[in-house]
Amino acid sequence: MSEQVMVVVQSRMDVLDVSADARVLAASQGARPRKASELAVVVADLATNAVRHGRGALVKLAVGSAGWTVEVEGTKRRGQADLSDVRRFATRLELRGTSVIAHGEFS
């Protein structure tokens, strides 16, 4: 069974909170500590870009025993966002309108 979280991020504190939540949620679904940390990095990177290059966004996080999906909705693409950490840990990355969606596995 997967767990889902939705959080509005508008500040660096919001980014830190949702990143920590992602790590805890991944661990609660049985992810190894390293994989939980990788998810936290992806969430922090996407949320930071939303705060830095826009006015914040809605972060939707779904975590199950096999993997995760992070959607950051409402991002403004002013400037170039560095998604290198996201690309390193995600198995798939999608850009849809004002949303960025990353998918990953815990294997």
Q: What is the pLDDT of residues 44-97, one digit of tens each?
A: 999 998 898 888 899 999 999 999 999 999 866 555 567 889 999 999 999 888
Residue 60: beta bridge partners? Answer: 6, 71
Secondary element (H or E) of residue 102 = strand 99-105
Confidence of residue 23 (pLDDT cuts 50, 70, 90): very high
Domain of residue 95 covers: 3-105
Task: Decide: 6 and 12 in contact? Cβ < 8 Å.
Answer: no
**Based on the structure, what is the number of domains in the chain?**
1
Task: Write out the two tokens for 65.
Answer: 């025993």
pTM: predicted TM-score of the whole model, two decimal places:
0.92
CATH number at residue 55: 3.30.565.10
